[in-house]
Every structure is written in C-alpha cells, then in structure tokens.
Chains A and B, each alone.
Chain A
Amino acid sequence: MRAVFILATKELNDGLRNRWILSIFLLLGSLALLLLLVSSAPGGTVKVSSLNIGVVNLTSLTVYLLPLIALMLSFDALVGEFERGTMLLLLTYPLARWQIVMGKFVGHLVILMAALLLGYGGAAVISLLIADGSSAGWENYLAMMVSSLLLGAVFLVIGYLVSLLARERSAAIGLAIGVWLFFVVLYDLGLLGVLLVDKEQLISQELFSFLMLINPTDLYRVFNLSALSGNGEISHIAGAIEIGSLSPLMLISACMGWLLIPFLAVIGLFQRREV
C-alpha cells in the first residue's frame, strides 16, 4: 500500500502543479452554478425542487464532460511514461506493476473527487444561498455527485486501457477521443436508430435494458434519473425504457463490472508488456 500511496501522492501533486484540479473545478463549478441558478428560477405552477431539476440538468452535462475529463487525465498515464522513458526506471524499483496502475488510479480519482466536491458541492451551496431555495432533493444531488465520481472512475480505467493499447501518445489521444465519441454519442444514437427502425418491437424491454447496461454513460443516466422518474423531467434515451426494470443492485453490479474488467485487463496487459 505504501507504494500505491507514494505514486498517488505524486499524481495528486502533478494535478495541483499543472492546474488540472483547478481547471476541472472551475469548469464543473461554473457550469453547475449556472445550471442550478437557472433551475431555481420560477418554473410555472409545478413545484419541483431546484436541486432535483439541477440533478437532471447536471446529469446531462456530466455525462458528456466527465468521461472526457477522465480520459484526458488517464490516456497519457502509461503510454506517456513508456514514451518519455520514466517507466523503465520506475519498473526497476521494488513495486509491482498493479501498484503502479493502482497508484495512478487513486491519484487521479482524488483529483476528480476534489474537483467534483468543490465544483458541484460548492455550486449547490452557493445556489442555495443566492437563490434562497429549498434544500429538498439534496440526497439525489449527493447521489449524483457520487455516481459522477464512479462514472469518472470507469473512464479513468478505460483511459489506462487505451494508454496500454496505444504504442504512442498521439495514437492514445486519438483512441481516447474515439472511445469518448463511441460511449457518449454514437452508442445512444445507434440505439435510438434501432428503436426507430424497430417498428414491430422485436427488441424486448429486457434486451434494451441489457444494451443500456453495457454502456457506462447510460448506467449513469439511468441511475440518476430513476430517483426522479416520478417527476416527469426525464428526457433523452434513458427515458425510453421502463427504469424500474433495472434494479439499483443491477446498476451497481454493472458499474463494478465496468471498473473491474478493464482494470484486470490493464493489469494483465501491463504484466506481459516488455520495456
């Protein structure tokens, strides 16, 4: 654990030094504050908590931004060290390869956590103070923050996989953007296309739920919107399924799968890699 801690601290210091934490915090914080203030504006006769509306709006924002931020943090983590030559030296020190990956993961996760906590948390506090709004729905907001961190964690690990599969940094960044485009944009577009074509409803609800489970961004949407499903604010593809068909346990298991399987793949590939 000591080696993991040392490596995580180094990553965290790098994050502070190169202003990653500051930029992610400013980006997430300012957008969250803007959305929350807009959400707290009087919205007609329907009385809905501004934090709940905030969750819906922020979920749509986070699902695009956070995977990209996580991939940008992690795509370079291994291929960059190989390319610059620092990995060669690191591997001659008494630490296992899984500890290198874990150390980077913990460091990057803390960077994301700090930025999310300060950005989203701070924005919620400020919006409540400014708009004098109700704090109702805070548990949904908190769940959104935690699940955002999990979404970030999943894409960090996917980023390490990209970082190992690509032989050069330039290839890794291309691959990372491709991965982002696939999971965040193309996958859902594809599903929507299939739904539109499937007029005879050949695709069952179960199959559709399963197809949602194999995309971490859809997992995130379903998780956050399921708590609000009674409020009628749900838009996007997540609204196309009967959310009750995916239990929280199933969602959490799928999320853990998305964390563990790529992580084990990274460790396996890294072990075999010659320097």
Chain B
Amino acid sequence: MAESSLISLNNVVKRYRSETVLKGINLNIGAGECIVLVGHNGAGKTTLMKLVLGLIRPTEGTVTVLGLDPSKDRSELLLKGLGYLPERVAFYESMTGLEVLHFYAKLKSEPISECDALLESVGLTDAKNRPIQTYSKGMKQRLGLAQAMLGDPQFLLLDEPTSGLDPVLRRQVYGLINRKCAEGKTVIISSHSLNEVEAQADHVVIMNEGEIVTNGSMDALYKQAELPVVIDLKVAEGVLDKLSERLNGIATTAFVGENKVELGCSLENKLIVIKELMSLDDLVEDIHIRPPKLDDIYLHFIPNKAAPAEQKEGDRV
C-alpha cells in the first residue's frame, strides 16, 4: 500500500434508508496505482466510486481525495484533473459525437482541438458527425471513454469500461487503459470481466455485499488464496505411473484423456515440478502452464456467488 494516499476511505458506511450499501470500508489508494474493483452486481463498487467523486456523502466515516473532502471541495478537486466513465454512460441524444466532446472539453477548459484525436483513439472518427441517438451501446461507451480522457487527467475512474464492447474493441480499450497506467496515472476500474483486467491491476479489491472481502496485489492474492497452478501435459504412453511416483507429494496428477495429464501444484512448488518434468526428457511432449485466474481467486473468496463473468453472461441471456 502506498505511503502517501491519494484516496483514503476510513470506516465508510453508506446507507439508503434502511439499506446499507457499504459496511465499513477501509481503503487507501496511492498515486499512480492501477486498482481493479471486483464484485458482483450490488457489491458496492459504483457507490464507492461515487463517494470518491463526491457525488454522494458517506453516512458514517470519512472519504478524502488529495486530503480534501470530495463532497465539499469539489471544484478544487475536479480541476486537478479527473476523468470518469459512469457504468451506464448517457449523453445528450440530439448532439453529435463531436459536439458532445466539444461541450465537455469546454467545461474542462481544454482545447477542443484534442477532440478529433480522442475520437480516433476510440475508433469513432467515422461516426463523429452523427447524432448520439444513432449510436450503439458500444459506441456510446467508447465516446464515454474519450470524454473521460479529455485533458489527459491524472486520475481516471472507469466503471465497467468495456461493457457492451466486442472482444476486439475490448482489447483496444484495455490497450488505452494500459497506456494510462504506464504513464503513471491513477486508474480505478470496476469490472465484471475479471480475466481481462488482470494485466492492468497493481492492486485488486474484491467486494461482496458492501464489504471488502480482500485486497492486495495479484501476487499477494494468489498466495493468500493458495490456489493450485495447473499444468497440462502431453506425455508418451504409459508414463502416468512414473509421473505420479516422481511428483508424489509436490503435485496431484489426473489422467484427463489420451496421453493427456493435468497436474496441480502449489505456487511454491511450481518450479520444482517443472524441473522434475524437465528431467523426464522426451517422455513429456508438451507443457502448458495455467496460473490461477482472477476469476478463480474471486470464486475462492466469494464461493457462494457465481463468478461475475458468468453472471454477466446470464444477464445478457
């Protein structure tokens, strides 16, 4: 955790009438970190982002951003450079994409000359003169991302930035986000597509029913979860017994098909197992290592919930 926190939430509780949406959140985010908030629908991710933005006030506890209360010192805070993409982004439907971006650029006192380049970076150059009402959900999402990046803000909050995008566009969007992370911007992303954001995350915060279940770096979470590394092997015939004998105590073995074996071992034993496999020379024809994914970690910490990615698929049906 960073020593000088850009964002700090201390015992934050948020209640709407009788419903408690956040239950005592403690979180510190340092400048330049790339944070991924993970959780199913209703876990409190969007509420947490709105608290950081100062759009809502905590019922209990304190939220500070750059040492300021975001719900009170808004203008000073917002002028420091903030980009936000809401979960369900909406624009003025009768305006064109370019007009929308010009409007927001002027509000941010940014030159409107940067709008064309931003639209190009999200692949909307051809549609820039079309009214928003003709845009698909994915196009609106990309326009939302372009507006969030207006003025190259130091601090980006992206609430499900790839929802509604096809795989090619998702990759483009994550490319953009990666670039921002590499430039040292502070980025907070909430996402259902856990495996996609894995590469971006310095720090993962897993939330469930208004609480932080766990948080830390990807490596720390792997270790904490103690999930096995899975190694797929293609082996010569009749090797399974020999393999089981050699790996006894350091890995589990399972015969999964013709000449195919699936090994499971702990993160610490990974190298030992690989060395053992290497010593088997030509008995092992192919190796494929599968480290645990963020989805697996999520399921480990929230076992009773469906994986968010699966839930999202279900939502679409």
Contacts and interface: CB of A to CB of B under 8 A. Distances in A.
A27 interface: no
A275 interface: yes
Interface stretch (B53-61, B191-199, B297-305): B53-61
Interface string A79-90: 000001110111
B189 to A, nearest CB: 16
B109 A2 contact: yes
A21 to B, nearest CB: 14
Nearest to B85: A89
A165 B144 CA distance: 29
A85 B78 CA distance: 19
B129 interface: no
A88 B55 CA distance: 8
A85 B75 CA distance: 21
**Residue of A18, A86, A94, A96 ringed by the most chain B CB atoms within 10 A:** A94
A10 B103 contact: yes
Given A88-B86, A89-B84, A275-B55, A17 B94 contact: yes
B82 interface: yes
Interface string B120-161: 000000000000000000000000100100000000000000
A86 B106 contact: no
Contacts of B235: none
B312 interface: no
Contacts of A17: 94
A85 B92 CA distance: 10
A273 to B, nearest CB: 10
B149 to A, nearest CB: 13
A274 interface: yes
B109 to A, nearest CB: 7
A70 to B, nearest CB: 21
Given A18-B94, A85-B86, A95-B107, 13 more contacts: A3-B107, A10-B103, A17-B94, A85-B88, A85-B90, A86-B91, A89-B89, A89-B104, A91-B53, A92-B84, A94-B78, A96-B75, A274-B55
26 contacts: A6-B103, A10-B92, A10-B103, A14-B92, A84-B90, A85-B88, A85-B89, A86-B91, A89-B89, A89-B90, A89-B147, A91-B53, A91-B55, A92-B53, A92-B55, A92-B82, A92-B84, A93-B78, A94-B78, A94-B107, A95-B107, A274-B56, A274-B57, A275-B50, A275-B55, A275-B56
